[in-house]
Amino acid sequence: MKKAILIIQCPDQKGIVAEVSRFLYSYEGNILEVDQHVDEEMGMFFMRAAWELDSFSLQKDEIASRFKEEVGERFKMDFKLHFNFPKPRMAIFVSKLSHCLFDILGRHHAGQLEVDIPVVVSNHQSLKEIVEAFGIPFHYIPITSETKAAAEANQLELMKTNTIDFVVLGRYMQILSADFIKHFPNRIINIHHSFLPAFVGARPYHAAYERGVKIIGATAHYVTEELDAGPIIEQEVARVRHHNSVTELVQIGQDVEKVVLSKAIKYHVDRKVMPIKNKTVIFY
């Protein structure tokens, strides 16, 4: 089904829902989902509306301007209009660990992830064969401290050539430069292998082991310049016990990581995530 999705934020005031729904109704929009949220502290209003496009009486490329004119300007709205076609184009960056990658490829293969995946990028070659068996192009771009800048330029070129919409770091063990991140604001999803803000940085399972926590977790978040500090999209946890070694924490944690990352990707693809400052509103 062809859908339009409208994402709105504006100063809170009366009548917004009424006006947005009147607009959609006036052009025969069959509303599929409407969600709204008011942040009382910020005095801001957030809304997501999805409707069927086929029966809508405005042309696809008229909608944004009409909406702006009839509704958006009056409420000083910051809005974005999305469609669920063509599918968003997602790049996956990985190193050697395969659990997140295979989980994503499996879902995509089963038709459960509405994205195109034109490219998997890795600084290792080990996962090439299986990625290609899934019918996805695999790009090997090795990275050393000397070649990092060149490698990133290479990656960015690849993103451009493939008109990539957003990037998923599926346990990609390299830190992206501020410059790379600027090309994809709130469009790079990372999976961090701890329950943030606990255990920021490297080796969180070791840190969890040292601290003796009884629960470990994983966090999917948008990448910002500050390490592991971007807006959190999804988190989940698993119980561990005193007899679990670090190796076991890693394995237990990987099951959490892959589920959390895939949920975050799904929310992002369905345009259900609104990053607000350093937090997210998630309309699921």
Catalytic residues: 228
CB 202 within 8 A of CB 170: no
Tokens of 117: 């995946």
151, containing H or E segment:
helix 148-161
Tokens of 80: 């974005």
The DSSP line for 91-131 is EEEE-S--HHHHHHHHHHHTT-S--EEEEEEESSSTTHHHH
For 220, what's the count of Cα atoms within 13 Å in the CB-facing half-sphere?
29
Q: Residue numbers of the site for its own copies (CB under 8 A)?
A: 14-15, 17-18, 21-22, 24-25, 28-32, 34, 36-38, 40, 97-99, 102-103, 105-107, 109-110, 112, 129-130, 132-134, 195-199, 211-215, 217, 231-237, 241-243, 245, 251, 255, 259, 262, 278-282
The least CB distance from residue 262 to its own copies, in Å, is 8
Pairwise CA distance, residues 235 & 243, whole Å:
24
Instruction: Select from 258, 42, 80, 29 the least CA-distant residue to 185.
Output: 80
208 alpha-carbon distance from chain centroid: 26
CB 10 within 8 A of CB 44: yes
Q: Which residues contact 200 (CB under 8 A, 6 or more apart)?
A: 192, 194, 227, 228, 229
